[in-house]
A = this chain, B = another copy of it.
Amino acid sequence: MTVLEWDPYDRNCPSRQVLDRVGDRWTVLVVGALAAGPMRFSELAERVDGVSQKMLTQTLRNLERDGLVTRTMYAQIPPRVEYELTDSGTTLQLPMKALEDWTKEHMRGIMAARYEYDLHKAELPKP
Contact = CB atoms under 8 A, between A and B. Distances in A.
Interface of A: 4, 6, 8-11, 14-16, 18-20, 22-25, 28-29, 32-33, 47-50, 57-58, 61-62, 64-68, 88, 91-92, 94-96, 98-104, 106-114, 116-118, 124, 127
Q: How many copies does the complex hold?
A: 2
A69 to B, nearest CB: 10
Given A23-B28, A25-B23, A91-B102, A9 B48 contact: yes
| Best-surrounded residue of A33, A68, A92, A102 (most CB of chain B within 10 A) | A102
Contacts of A124: 61
A15 to B, nearest CB: 5
A14 B102 contact: no
A94 B65 CA distance: 28
Nearest to A59: B127
Contacts of A23: 22-25, 28, 99
19 contacts: A4-B107, A8-B29, A8-B103, A8-B104, A10-B49, A18-B107, A18-B110, A19-B28, A19-B29, A19-B99, A19-B103, A65-B118, A66-B114, A88-B113, A91-B102, A91-B106, A92-B102, A94-B102, A95-B95
